[in-house]
Structure 1
Amino acid sequence: MDVSLETATMRRVAWRLVPFICLLYFIAFLDRVNIGFAALTMNRDLGFSSAVFGFGAGIFFFGYFLFEVPSNVILDKVGARLWIARVMITWGIISGAFAFVKGEYSFYALRFLLGAAEAGFFPGIILYLSYWFPARYRAGVVSLFMAAAPISVVLGSPVSSALLDMDGILGLHGWQWMFLVEAAPAVVLGVVVLFYMTDRPEKAKWLADDQRAWLVAEMNAERAAKQTAAKHSIMAGLADIRVLSLALIYFGTSAGLYTLGIWAPQIIKSFGLSTMAVGFLNGVPPTIAVVAMILWARHSDRTGERKWHVAIACLVASAGLVLAGGATSVAAVIAALSLVNVGISAAKPPLWAMPTMFLSGSAAAVGIATINSIGNLGGFVGPWAIGWIKDKTGSFTGGLVFVAGLLVVSAVLTLTVARAGRRAGAADVTAH
């Protein structure tokens, strides 16, 4: 193997693809969770209770669930370039339409439609990366891609706060301006995708001939090595017990992630801070999480270990949620939310390195989408439970402890599935 050729090729591929897909995910995540900031004033303007807001925030994931698997199958058939462009343009239009919400039912409808429009983006990118990066690079690359989520909170929080201060300009509320301004990049970037993305290494004219030949041969060899053990059909991706197990593990991490994205601004605001102060403080925990996630993923790749990297991270996030529920000062709640951010972010790259180790082809497309669609229902359960319990108790504590429990289940299930897989003689997707 020509090590210098491999190094040059993977560096070229990484610089070409990773910054751009990070930008796409940055915008996707911002449009998905910016209602957390809108709620600081929108809930009052529209008369939404915590339960109404929590249900509306979470119903996004029902649309996501219903359309995710077919969306990823279509992407595998027509190519990432066309399908990711379609996803971005439609979600951008729908996200901007939130500026015209009039009540709870239009809020519910648009959140559902936003989930349906965005379905397929995240698992589509995970699948897309598996076309370009050999398995030994995958967790590290996924960590860079997923870093866009906490970075979008870091940078998006003060921007969203500033947009809320545009209240009254041209007769619009600040939250209406926030939705309109933050939706525009998705539409613009959707058009850019059509001209910038390349579906497969075979079509990469931006690689030198020897680089392209090496990468195509490497990815073909990896697929061939999985021919006897990997599953390829659509039904294999749906029926594999490991796919369903990973989906349940991901359920807990999603509940934690969207509890943060949707409720953290209001949790911080409850200490009596200004909207702008909330915007800046809300960016502190994800800043720490970005560094931790990248280092944790690199350690997972270097050691070849996955299961403990997932389980330990889930337990750290769980502890942070419990501490956040009992925090009595701004400093304490920011410290606790930092633990949650670190744990949630660090768990995901090693978790997403698992499915493409035992699935390929259509099975990988369906398996990844199944994990993401079922797992992301945690994004409904977490935010909804927080809102419902807060309306009943007047406090965030009970809801935070509930989500912490889901993360403990994820950690235990990760270790249980690993042991069961070894006893059955199956491919151990969590030990590599």
Structure 2
Amino acid sequence: MNHNTALPATAARSREAGLDTLATYRKIAWRLLPFLVFLFILAWIDRVNVGFAKLAMLGDLGFSEAVYGVGAGIFFIGYFIFEVPSNLLLEKIGARKTLARITILWGLTSMAMAYVESAWSFYLLRFLLGMFEAGFFPGIVLYLTYWFPAAQRAKINGLFMTSFAIAGVVGGPIAGLIMSRMVGVGSLANWQWLFILEGIPSVLAGLAILRYLPEKPINAKWLSASERELVSSTIAREESAPGKHTQLSALVRNPRIWLCTAVYFCIVAGNATIAFWTPSVIKSLGISDTLNIGLLSAIPFIVGTLAMIWNGQHSDKTAERRLHCASAALLAGLGLIATGLLLGNATLALMALTVAAAGILAAFPVFWSIPSAFLAGTAAAGGIALINCIGNLAGFVAPYMIGWLRTLTGSLAAGLYFVAALEIIAALLVFCLLKDGGKTIHR
């Protein structure tokens, strides 16, 4: 049976069994996605709250912008080294244990950031944070392939990846509130309280994973027996479809893997930019109050949330991936260029940054539907992790280059132009090269 006939046949069997296929997947989505989104919001907040801590931490510790850039980015070196092993371990020992371990350890490390005293301790803890978080995002992407068929994955990925944007929406104001209200409390600085108070929920959430998260559909007691069979058989049928790569050894010989990796590197550079530098961009516009910076930093992520959901849903509806991903990356590049040009005008610069965030975030859900269309089994676990870990090295390159260029030129504009160029390269790579016989990889 080929890929195109699998879903209709499954739908016919589900009707015979009295099942509503879409209702089953909605039931799964409502059960899993809110919890997974919550986990990623915690991960994202603990990863990027250093951007808010920076507003006071650099002065207290005597760090330069370049030191901050290295510390913000070195997270991704640890992430790079340990990501593929973490995802392969997930395939062996299961999602629940892997995700619980990751969440608890990153929460503890985030809390330890409160006690940074030197540049080297800053670098070490950021490296450890990346090492412990490694495997979380690709693990979730892989985990969702156990539950949802290919035709729904851009939409599901989009709904899950709203956690990027939601974290920005809620994380900025929360960080700004903590920074503004915890000045002079106890013997700790406000940035130290930020790390501690935002690390505690992650530790508690890691413990909750073991009780709440089912391993696979067959383990979901909240699904009926017929629903479990429907989901499991559909996924199994897709995994065995012709054209799927299932062997890990085939990854390094597959040029599409390396092309996807290059594209993802460029997209992540933009994501790291808005994550680590949005507070600094807003501060450079003449806004000094940390609570106001936090509130204003939510605006790009609110718009990005809407763009991400719409782009993922529209991509599924039209069964088109390439143009949806390329156009989003191009929009991101143009938005970053405009932000650099308009830094002298607070209103226009914030509008341009919002456009850039919309493009960056909208590219993610569509992009991740591409590799899952030609990978399965162990190759999916390794391939998704490989793309993510190498692509996430941009999370080191972009903050480092922005910090270095700002120290060199005294302005954020040069760094924004550098990242804009990477977004435009991503658009060109997707549009010109991510093809398969003249068709998109997905189709």
TM-score range for the pair, normalised by the shorter chain length: over 0.9
Q: Output aligned runs, 1:198-209, within 5 Å.
A: 198-209=214-225
Instruction: Show the counterpart of 2:396.
Output: 380
Separation (CA, whole Å) in 1 of partners of 2:201 and 2:135: 19
Contact 1:5/1:211, CA 8 A, preserved across alignment: no
Q: What one-letter code is carried by the residue in structure 1 that aligns with 2:186?
A: L
Contact 1:418/1:431, CA 8 A, preserved across alignment: no
**1:261/1:358 CA distance change after superposition, 3 Å:** same
Instruction: Show the counterpart of 1:367.
Output: 383
Instruction: Show the counterpart of 2:68.
Output: 53
Instruction: Show the counterpart of 1:68.
Output: 83
> Once the 2 structures are TM-superposed, how far is the Cα of residue 76 of structure 1 from its aligned partner?
0.7
Structure 2 counterpart of 1:155, from 170, 176, 199: 170
Instruction: Show the counterpart of 1:269.
Output: 283
Q: What one-letter code is carried by the residue in structure 1 that aligns with 2:261?
A: A
Structure 2 counterpart of 1:224, from 231, 240, 258: 240
Q: Which runs of 5+ in 2 are unaligned?
A: 1-11
> Once the 2 structures are TM-superposed, how far is the Cα of residue 292 of structure 1 from its aligned partner?
1.2
Q: Which runs of 5+ in 1 are unaligned?
A: none
Q: Output aligned runs, 1:258-297, within 5 Å.
A: 258-273=272-287, 274-297=289-312
Separation (CA, whole Å) in 2 of partners of 1:129 and 1:204: 14
Separation (CA, whole Å) in 1 of partners of 2:27 and 2:157: 16
1:21-59: CA deviations, max 9, x gaps?
A: 000001011111111100011111111111110111001
Separation (CA, whole Å) in 2 of partners of 1:289 and 1:236: 36
Aligned-residue CA RMSD (Å)? 1.2
> Once the 2 structures are TM-superposed, how far is the Cα of residue 82 of structure 1 from its aligned partner?
0.5
Contact 2:256/2:434, CA 8 A, preserved across alignment: no
Which stretch shows the higher mean deviation, 153-162 or 363-372? 153-162
> Once the 2 structures are TM-superposed, how far is the Cα of residue 418 of structure 1 from its aligned partner?
2.5
Separation (CA, whole Å) in 2 of partners of 1:114 and 1:66: 12
> Once the 2 structures are TM-superposed, how far is the Cα of residue 237 of structure 1 from its aligned partner?
2.9
Separation (CA, whole Å) in 2 of partners of 1:78 and 1:238: 24
1:144-200: CA deviations, max 9, x gaps?
A: 111011111111111101111212211100000000000011110000000111111
Q: Output aligned runs, 1:4-403, within 5 Å.
A: 5-165=20-180, 166-225=182-241, 228-273=242-287, 274-327=289-342, 328-403=344-419
Which stretch shows the higher mean deviation, 235-244 or 351-360? 235-244
1:187-233: CA deviations, max 9, x gaps?
A: 100000001111111111110111111111211221222xx311111
1:347-403: CA deviations, max 9, x gaps?
A: 011100011111111000000000100110111111111100000000001110000
Taking structure 2 as the reference length, what is the TM-score of the superposition? 0.94
Separation (CA, whole Å) in 1 of partners of 2:332 and 2:431: 17
Contact 2:75/2:129, CA 8 A, preserved across alignment: yes
Q: What one-letter code is carried by the residue in structure 1 that aligns with 2:283?
A: K
1:77-111: CA deviations, max 9, x gaps?
A: 11100000000011111111000000111000111
Separation (CA, whole Å) in 2 of partners of 1:240 and 1:416: 18
Contact 2:84/2:385, CA 8 A, preserved across alignment: yes
Q: What one-letter code is carried by the residue in structure 1 that aligns with 2:291?
A: M
Which stretch shows the higher mean deviation, 185-194 or 199-208? 199-208
Separation (CA, whole Å) in 2 of partners of 1:97 and 1:410: 36
Contact 1:63/1:114, CA 8 A, preserved across alignment: yes
Contact 1:50/1:391, CA 8 A, preserved across alignment: yes
Aligned residues: 425
Separation (CA, whole Å) in 2 of partners of 1:292 and 1:97: 35
Seq. identity, %: 44
Q: What one-letter code is carried by the residue in structure 2 that aligns with 1:250?
A: Y
1:301-342: CA deviations, max 9, x gaps?
A: 011100111110000000010011011222112101111110
Taking structure 1 as the reference length, what is the TM-score of the superposition? 0.96
